[in-house]
Amino acid sequence: MSTPTRKTPEQLRSWRWYGRDELRSFGHRSRAKQNGWGNEDIVGKPVIGILNTWSDLNSCHMHLRLTADAVKRGVFQAGGHPMEIPVMSVGEMLTKPTAMFHRNFLAMETEEMLRANPIDGAVLLGGCDKSTPGLLMGAFSMDIPVIYMPCGPMMKGNWRGDTLGSGSDVWKYWDEKRAGNLSWGEWCEIEDGIARSPGHCMTMGTASTLTALAETLGLVMPGASSIPAVDSAHTRMAAAAGRQIIENVWLDRKPSGIVTEKSFENAIAVDMALGGSTNAIVHLIAMAGRLGIPLPLEKFDEISRKVPLLANLRPAGKYLMEEFFLAGGLTALLNGMRELLHTDVAT
């Protein structure tokens, strides 16, 4: 294998803004100084965009400002310069009729924020359903080095000692209430206990599925998608992502050099093994399209006939993401289904 070529500082994208002796660069540097950043902060160093989907409208992402701080710490440790950039927060908990209508807005915003600004690489912070495909679609179109840092699942719900899962238990207990088997007071207790912490839905719904598939595609730090939002491992992993993106920039590791047709076949296989969301089909096809990779429906059918359901996770099974993490998470699942995967793809 040939040794990968490292970029020189003059080959960084951000050099076109900050490094040149020209009128426009005077403007860019003087405005960086307005921000309190000297030339030693920004010239010839990888500038890392931290695209943050934090919003008070999105309770799944309520901790992402702290996650962004950890990513910044990692970027500084590795000799880069972080810039936190707010982007549209695509959340499912309030948006009517569905955040699906906003996925492509986020993709456009992601692509334009990365394209129009002095960004050499990016760490993308998301997790709630459509935020994962939205951020990745934009990043694929732009095709600069990126790492996706999922917000992590929330803690499992609890009602009088019984476990509650996002989504599925809402329908179950709503029917119990309609049948007259649950009082208003009990219904309110369930409301208090079903979403106990930051993080995305903790069943194997769309969010847990898409973050796991992003990791399978090779765009997430190994193991990161299974870590609960409030576990301290999440913060440590965010700092690690900040360090790793610097190396990815110097080596010019772009999505087009990592994600191939085989990577998508792996993602489909993992979706089947996890009992993941059927929404993954819509999003994987859209993501693959951004990289010019055809993903016909027949491929999903073909792979589904070879891959058994392996994970015992709600709604198809019994457990929730917290238990999946403690049982080894996606890393353990990938290892257990090794013979069903292409193992010669980059991650």
* Spatial separation of the C-alpha atoms in residues 99 and 152, rounded to whole Å: 19
Task: Say if strands 146-150 and 157-159 run parallel, antiparallel, or are unpaired.
Answer: unpaired
Q: What is the DSSP string of 51-82?
A: EE---TT-GGGTTHHHHHHHHHHHHHHTT-EE
Task: Examine residue 103 and tell whether it contacts ligand FES (CB under 6 A).
Answer: no
CB of 8 to ligand FES, least distance (A): 42
Binding flags for ligand FES, 111-150, as an x/- string (CB under 6 A): -----------------xx---------------------
User: Is the separation of the CB atoms in 134 and 214 below 8 Å?
Assistant: no
Q: Looking only at residues 163 through 202 of this chain, which bind ligand FES when binding is defined by CB under 6 A?
A: 166, 200-201
**φ, ψ of residue 196 in degrees (nearest 5):** -95, -5
Q: How far is CA 261 from CA 184, 256, 285, in A?
A: 51, 11, 11
Q: Are strands 81-86 and 47-52 parallel, antiparallel or unpaired?
A: parallel
Q: Which stretch binds ligand FES (CB under 6 A): 46-54, 86-94, 278-286, 299-307?
A: 86-94
Give the nearest distance from C-beta 347 to ligand FES in angstroms: 24
- Tell me, by CB under 6 A, how many residues bind ligand FES: 10
* Binding-site string for ligand FES from residue 243 to residue 272, where x marks contact by CB under 6 A and - marks none: ------------------------------
Q: Least Å distance between CB 93 and ligand FES?
A: 5
| Binding residues among 44-63 for ligand FES as defined by CB under 6 A | 60
Phi, psi of 324 (to 5 degrees): -60, -45
Residue number, 74 or 126, with CB nearest to ligand FES: 126
CB of 25 or CB of 163, closer to ligand FES:
163
Q: Binding to ligand FES (CB under 6 A): which residues in 283-312?
A: none
Among 207, 217, 268, 269, the residue binding ligand FES under the rule CB under 6 A is 207
Name the residues that contact ligand FES, by CB under 6 A: 60, 91-93, 128-129, 166, 200-201, 207
